[in-house]
Amino acid sequence: MSDYQIRLYDTLARTKRVFVPADPTAITMYVCGPTVYGRAHIGNARPAVVFDTLRRLIEHQYGAGSLTYARNVTDIDDKIIAAAEAEGVEPSVITERYEQYYLDDMGALGVAPPDIAPHATADISPMVAMIATLVDLGHAYVAEGHVLFAVASDPEYGVLSGRDRDAMIAGARVEVAPYKRDPADFVLWKPSDDGVIGWNSPWGRGRPGWHIECSAMIAAHLGETIDIHGGGLDLIFPHHENEIAQSRCAHAGKPLARYWVHNGFVDMGAEKMSKSLGNVVTVDRLLAEGYRGETLRFALLSGHYRSPLPWTSALVAQSKATLDGLYRKAGDAQTGAIDAGVIGAMAEDLNTPLAISRLGAIEDPAVLKASAQLFGLLTMSAQAWFQGAGESNDIDTRIASRTAAKANRDFAESDRIRDELKANGILLEDGPGGTTWRRA
């Protein structure tokens, strides 16, 4: 363990806090994972990469085997049911397909599988049991085949998001239903129509609401109170707010998590990247266009995890160029000690931009490689990196020749190179940061 203490920004405390796990030999972290009905976009990949990086840091600081990392799979959801109906298949066909795609795509970005991957459909019993406890304690009620959490029964509801009641109701986009006692109440269990996936329960055949899934799976696999709960900024409300309320009320006031850590959005210009907006770039598409997974990982780590990250072709091009330089410097050296400055930057609320800038100042190739590998970079030999780059290196070389031609005012040669690349399906884009390329 290094001399640096990990400090993390705790969303609930609204400040950075020194990370002090309940048991340094048995640290627990749970991150909300994918709902498996479609391909993951690069925004979906950000929490996977961020918390994989935090996992690496914790295991470096506290030792191998010190952390149990759980990332759930939501494999029952209205969108999954709709996708299955559209294809005329069972929901499991959809979920198994897209879960494997997700694992493949995240693996390409250097994200290791979690230690535990709870699936909602495999943990229905703990969910039913938790709902029953909430009903018995007066925190939930049954109405027209539904079970709903009674928000008014929890005076601490809203502590995570800090929203007032009107803002919470608006933010939750609550379903207006006559059976609700309060517009803010949310569904713990809902009935399933004939022919729709469901399970037997004390309240009839149905399926769980989204929020109860994580609360029950955390308790079943990690315990009533965990060290770190993570996820995207968009999950603070209502998902994590509701998780906190359910778990606290079911477990005699015990906190669900000791630290709440959230990553910011990836955006395309001014808007958050989302499937509903249709402004998504999927990981598999980027990989198919020839971008290396490590380049995409670098791009995702180039901004601080809590800040918005504008996704542009220039960002990816600069990430590749920086990695090329680091690979040239590291060569085929073996790994050595990790640079103290890199550890210090990472320990200070996972400041990967500062850590990356520190990499550029490291002269010892062995130290450089070990330091970069702390956050999943420089994972191969320089020979493999450059040999495998193939076409990308050739394109970059031709772009460099075009840039030189333009500098020499040889515009005929510049245009020839551009047109030659275009004929091969490569489009060039000139900008303030230089020339980038993409496939047509």
Model pLDDT, residue 76: 96
Rounded to two decimals, the pTM is 0.87
| Nearest in space to 116 (alpha carbons), one of 175, 71, 55, 160 | 71
Mean local confidence (pLDDT), 297-312: 97
Place of tokens 């109405």: 143
Least confident of 16-25, 82-91, 217-226, 376-385: 376-385
DSSP state of 253: T
Token output for 301: 């780590």
List pLDDT tens digits, range 258-299. 999 999 999 986 566 666 666 789 999 999 988 999 999 999
Give the span between the Cα atoms of 321 and 392, in whole angstroms.
11
The full DSSP string for 330-373 is HTTPPP-PPPHHHHHHHHBT--HHHHHHHHTT---HHHHHHHHH
Token output for 385: 């990196």
Least confident of 219-233, 270-284, 303-317: 270-284
Model pLDDT, residue 429: 82
| pLDDT band for position 113 (cuts 50, 70, 90) | very high
Token output for 220: 């079943």
Model pLDDT, residue 395: 78
Does position 27 have pLDDT exceeding 60, yes or no?
A: yes
Least confident of 45-49, 147-151, 268-272, 423-427: 268-272
| Percent of the chain surpassing pLDDT 90 | 78
Give the span between the Cα atoms of 374 and 413, in whole angstroms.
44
The full DSSP string for 306-327 is TS-EE--HHHHHHHHHHHHHHH
| Nearest in space to 305 (alpha carbons), one of 268, 340, 266 | 266
Does position 241 have pLDDT exceeding 70, yes or no?
A: yes
Does position 105 have pLDDT exceeding 70, yes or no?
A: yes
Q: Which helix (H) or strand (E) holds 420?
A: helix 411-423
Mean local confidence (pLDDT), 151-166: 90
At 103, phi and psi to the nearest 5? -60, -40
Pick 17 or 173 by higher pLDDT.
17
Model pLDDT, residue 408: 87
Contact 436/429 with Cβ under 8 angstroms?
yes
Give the span between the Cα atoms of 221 and 293, in whole angstroms.
31
Task: Kindly list the distances between the CA atom of residue 103 and the CA atoms of 45, 106, 404, in Å, as whole numbers in the listed order.
Answer: 11, 5, 42
Token output for 157: 């509801």
Give the domain ranges of the chain.
391-440
List pLDDT tens digits, range 345-403. 999 999 999 999 999 999 999 999 999 999 999 999 988 888 765 556 677 778 878 98
Q: Would you call 181 helix, strand, or coil by DSSP?
A: coil
Give the span between the Cα atoms of 2 and 11, in whole angstroms.
26
List pLDDT tens digits, range 178-202. 899 999 999 999 999 999 999 999 9
Q: Which residues pair with 316 in a beta bridge?
A: none
Mean pLDDT of the chain: 92
State which amino acid sits at residue 107.
Answer: G
Give the span between the Cα atoms of 272 and 257, in whole angstroms.
27
Mean local confidence (pLDDT), 42-69: 98
State which amino acid sits at residue 104.
Answer: D
Model pLDDT, residue 269: 66
Model pLDDT, residue 28: 99
Token output for 408: 């020499």
